[in-house]
Amino acid sequence: MAISPEMITQAAIASFAQSDNPRLKQIMQSLVKHLHAFAQETHLTEAEWMAGIQFLTATGHKCDDVRQEFILLSDTLGLSMLLVAMHDGAQSGATEATVLGPFHTPDAPAMASGSDLSNSAPGEPLYVTGRVLSADGKALAHARIDVWQADAEGLYDVQRSELGGNRRARGVVESDAEGNFSFWSVLPEAYPVPTDGPVGQMLVANGRHPWRPAHIHFLIEAQGYQPLVTHIFREGDRYLDTDVVFGVRPSLVGKFVAHKKGNAPDGRVMTEDYWSMDYAFKLQPI
């Protein structure tokens, strides 16, 4: 008797039946079911599947300590944002989450609130003020605010080998007793995700642009509250509606205000024009 595709699928699903981890069993059986259905729906050839294996292999080879090509793949396929949307569960009044992205590092320097995080990154000066609050408006003191962004040339510090691992446009500050924090950085600009690897080649081959709208990343943590991973996007950016990683939420579009040189709100004397942005972040309890 000839073996049918359906028989192969059922045999592969059944091979996980004895797993003593119910959740792993569910995930693996569903993965087999949908992967086999994908192959049948597209009439996938062996040569095409080999090309897929080579693509995934190249994606792995492009990963290192500061670049995660698989996260970029997940982001550009919309899977990262889908998981955020599925599990965010933001309470009414809480700030919406979005993707972490591939450029977060665990070694951002701790700095006093009000510090200049830019460390000579190219770009127009930007003064950011914010508050960390509970969803019902209570100030959250001693919240940890981890910040990172690309510079005016569209590059993160980890993409610049000439920095030798030094960090810029990146840092961690803490909120005060009233939940307030501030820092100086540079005005974010739109930038393309890396196109020198397999994910970039995938985008080009499918006629997709690689651009992300200008934004600043935030990872905010406070005791007793769920960590918040989010961005604040620059109002008016041309890519807000076509973000390559599908990460924009209207509530996360901030107002970046232009100022002439002179005294900044924190007393700093600015010899050049600068920008400011203010945003209140609201966390939900655990």
Residue 1 in this model has a pLDDT that exceeds 80: no
Report phi then psi at 263, rounded to 5: -80, 125
The predicted model gives 96-109 an average pLDDT of 92
Share of the chain above pLDDT 70, in %: 99
The reported pLDDT for the residue numbered 91 is 66
CA dihedral 6, 9, 14, 20 (to 10 degrees): -160
CB-based contacts of 26, cutoff 8 Å, min separation 6: none
The reported pLDDT for the residue numbered 241 is 97
The reported pLDDT for the residue numbered 43 is 98
Q: Which segments of 213-255 are extended strands (E)?
A: 215-221, 228-234, 253-254
User: What is the tens place of the pLDDT at every residue in 12-27?
Assistant: 999 999 999 999 999 9
User: What is the tens place of the pLDDT at every residue in 166-218?
Assistant: 999 999 999 999 999 999 999 999 999 999 999 999 999 999 999 999 999 99
Give the confidence band of 88 by pLDDT, cuts at 50, 70, 90: confident
Least confident of 101-105, 222-226, 249-253, 264-268: 101-105
CATH 2.60.130.10 fits 73-283, yes or no: yes
Strand partners, 174: 144
User: What is the tens place of the pLDDT at every residue in 225-256?
Assistant: 999 999 999 999 999 999 999 999 999 999 99
The reported pLDDT for the residue numbered 47 is 98
The predicted model gives 267-273 an average pLDDT of 96
The reported pLDDT for the residue numbered 89 is 64
Order of strands, sheet of 253-254, starting from the edge strand that comes earlier in the sequence:
170-174, 144-148, 215-221, 228-234, 253-254
The reported pLDDT for the residue numbered 90 is 62
The predicted model gives 101-130 an average pLDDT of 95
Give Cα 275 distance to the centre of its chain: 23
DSSP string, 148-217: E---TTS--GGG-GGGTT---SEEEEE--TTSEEEEEEE----EEPP-SSHHHHHHHHTT---EE-SEEE
User: What is the tens place of the pLDDT at every residue in 124-173?
Assistant: 999 999 999 999 999 999 999 999 999 999 999 999 989 988 999 999 99
> How far, in Å, CA of 172 to CA of 148, rounded?
9
Domain ranges of the chain: 5-65, 73-283
Residue 103 in this model has a pLDDT that exceeds 70: yes
Q: pTM here?
A: 0.90
